[in-house]
């Protein structure tokens, strides 16, 4: 019999994103602990798992102990979309143990659980919240704790031999991780929520899964009408990088393609920076429209404007934008809440990219994106953005990002130093003063692996979009914002000639 291993099947958790974090799902017949503070989502997570797996043949038993009254739990849980009332009473049975816990000892509590399991032959068992078991009978704190440890040990053994996948829900603080129950458990899922200024970030960690390789680290999650949704921290882990042909994609801005050596390189990350009102969003829209005109599909992630505002502005220049949304060629993703995580943003964009088979993604803008993040995620914005751009470009899409740079008029800041390293191509826009007029100029400062122009070109934002003008070859000091005519420029030469003529006449 050497070499024959007992196969451990995986059960789907029913929680989007969690199976990936768990390393493939929940190990069948495992004894798991779902730990976390009050309101962290333990009960909802357990319900989601239960509703995803319970059948009439292998039902789920949900034992409630003390704490949240069952009736209230049912009232709130049934608000979730996953809660199917048709399963209640048949595939899912709720059993209240408060009488056993309050009036009898732990032996009888265990006996009741055992007899219910023997009767129902469940596939899933949840005990919520098992920490309230014990300590009800006037025993000392130490004695109660020992009694509870023994109870958990016996329960774990019993549940495993009955081929049950089980979940114990308990309120624990991170300092309590040395509790013996953590040793007994095959799997530990830790839920937490941290408040930073006015925002709350929920995080999940798989501390332990026997027989699996879970994704390390803290993964953000959100609780919506559908229950928990996990946003795995390293979504590209399982993805293979899509190799792109070094094809050039038109920006849709006449003259700009020429500046960048023939167009944006497919699969690259491009960043367009500039001060407010310089036309960044207009260029980004032109880039997208250019792809749509060729039959490509695309996604625009908006962080600054409401989709309606964006659409009404975009439609005036490109009437097809609205139509493209209607026919499913273009999707606008509006992400403006102030408690986003990078992983959540990435998940939303990736889902849309996969749904549409998109080739182009516009992120408008990185500055808005940073503001939309919960403060706790802004701290590692640079690292997070690196993962976001890396993951998106790994799918083969071309990412066009805009970023606002605030600058003093005479002080040029080409990019936000935080994020320029993640891009393959950087184009900058800025204002300059020429002959008493405010003019817009544009230059290419980075094109990875490609030639590009090095001159500043003027441009106008017209009713049809951005139109590139000529280079400012006769000026020096454009970078200062207040250029001066070069001494050897045609303008200066003609001025000198005029002056000389005037002198001769005199």
Binding interface with other proteins (CB under 8 A): 64, 69-71, 74-75, 78, 85-86, 88-89, 94-99
Minimum CB distance to other proteins smaller for 71 or for 327 = 71
Minimum CB distance to other proteins smaller for 72 or for 142 = 72
How near is the Cβ of 276 to other proteins at its closest, in Å? Answer: 51
SS3 call for 445: strand
Nearest to 360 by CA among 247, 441, 279, 278: 247
SS3 call for 316: helix
Minimum CB distance to other proteins smaller for 102 or for 482 = 102
C-beta of residue 42 within 8 angstroms of C-beta of residue 77: no
Retrieve residue 122's tokens. Answer: 């469940």
* Those residues with Cβ within 8 angstroms of residue 323's Cβ, 6 or more apart along the chain or in another chain: none
Minimum CB distance to other proteins smaller for 70 or for 489 = 70
How near is the Cβ of 83 to other proteins at its closest, in Å? Answer: 9
SS3 call for 284: helix
d(CA 413, CA 404): 10
How near is the Cβ of 44 to other proteins at its closest, in Å? Answer: 16
How near is the Cβ of 75 to other proteins at its closest, in Å? Answer: 5
How near is the Cβ of 70 to other proteins at its closest, in Å? Answer: 4
Helix (H) / strand (E) element for 232: namely none
Minimum CB distance to other proteins smaller for 68 or for 171 = 68
Retrieve residue 80's tokens. Answer: 């979730």
d(CA 230, CA 4): 35
Minimum CB distance to other proteins smaller for 67 or for 135 = 67
DSSP state at residue 361 = E
Q: What is the DSSP string of 407-472?
A: --TTS---S-TTTGGG-SEEEEEEEEEETTEEEEEEEEEEETTS----S-EEEEEETTEEEEEEE-
Minimum CB distance to other proteins smaller for 78 or for 496 = 78
DSSP state at residue 483 = -
d(CA 86, CA 91): 9
């Amino acid at each position: 019999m050497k070499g024959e291993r007992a196969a451990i099947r995986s059960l789907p958790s029913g929680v989007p994103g969690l199976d990936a974090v768990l390393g493939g799902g929940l190990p069948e017949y495992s004894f798991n602990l779902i730990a976390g503070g009050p309101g962290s989502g333990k009960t909802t997570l357990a319900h989601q798992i239960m509703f995803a797996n319970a059948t009439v043949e292998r039902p789920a038993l949900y034992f409630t102990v003390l704490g949240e009254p069952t009736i209230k739990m049912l009232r709130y849980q049934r608000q979730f979309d996953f809660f199917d009332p048709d399963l209640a009473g048949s595939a899912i049975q709720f059993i209240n143990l408060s009488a056993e816990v309050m009036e009898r000892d732990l032996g009888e509590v265990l006996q009741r659980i055992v007899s219910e399991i023997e009767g129902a032959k469940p596939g899933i068992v949840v005990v919520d919240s098992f920490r309230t078991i014990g300590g009800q009978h006037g025993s000392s704190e130490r004695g109660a704790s020992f009694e509870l440890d023994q109870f958990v040990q016996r329960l774990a053994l019993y549940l495993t031999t009955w081929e049950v996948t089980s979940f114990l829900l308990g309120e624990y603080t991170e300092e309590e991780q040395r509790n013996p129950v953590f040793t007994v458990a095959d799997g530990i899922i830790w839920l937490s929520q941290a408040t930073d200024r006015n925002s709350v970030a929920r995080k999940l960690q798989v501390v332990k899964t026997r027989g699996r390789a879970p994704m390390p680290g803290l993964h953000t999650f959100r609780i919506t009408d559908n229950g928990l949704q996990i946003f795995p921290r390293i979504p590209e882990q399982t993805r293979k990088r899509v190799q792109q042909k070094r094809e050039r994609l038109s920006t849709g801005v006449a003259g700009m393609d020429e500046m960048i050596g023939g167009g944006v390189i497919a699969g690259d990350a491009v960043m367009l920076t500039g001060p407010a009102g310089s036309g960044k969003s207009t260029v980004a829209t032109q880039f997208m429209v250019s792809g749509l005109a060729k039959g490509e599909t695309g996604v625009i992630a908006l962080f600054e404007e409401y989709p309606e505002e964006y659409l009404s502005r975009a439609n005036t220049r490109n009437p097809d934008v609205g139509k493209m949304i209607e026919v499913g060629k273009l999707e606008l993703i509006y992400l403006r809440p102030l408690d986003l995580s990078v992983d959540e943003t990435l998940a939303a964009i990736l889902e849309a990219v996969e749904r549409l088979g998109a080739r182009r993604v516009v992120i408008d803008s990185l500055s808005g994106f940073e503001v939309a993040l919960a403060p706790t995620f802004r701290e590692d914005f640079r690292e997070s953005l690196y993962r976001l751009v890396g993951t998106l470009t790994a799918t083969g899409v071309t990412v066009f990002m805009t970023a606002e740079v605030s600058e003093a008029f005479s002080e040029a800041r080409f990019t936000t130093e935080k994020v320029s390293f993640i891009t393959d191509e950087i184009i900058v826009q800025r204002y300059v003063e020429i002959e008493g007029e405010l003019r817009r100029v544009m230059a290419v400062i980075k094109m990875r692996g490609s030639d590009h122009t090095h001159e500043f070109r003027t441009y106008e934002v017209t009713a049809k979009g951005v139109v590139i003008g000529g280079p400012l070859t006769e000026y020096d000091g454009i970078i200062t914002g207040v250029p001066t005519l070069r001494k050897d420029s045609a303008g200066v030469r003609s001025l000198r000639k005029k002056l000389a003529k005037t002198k001769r006449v005199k």
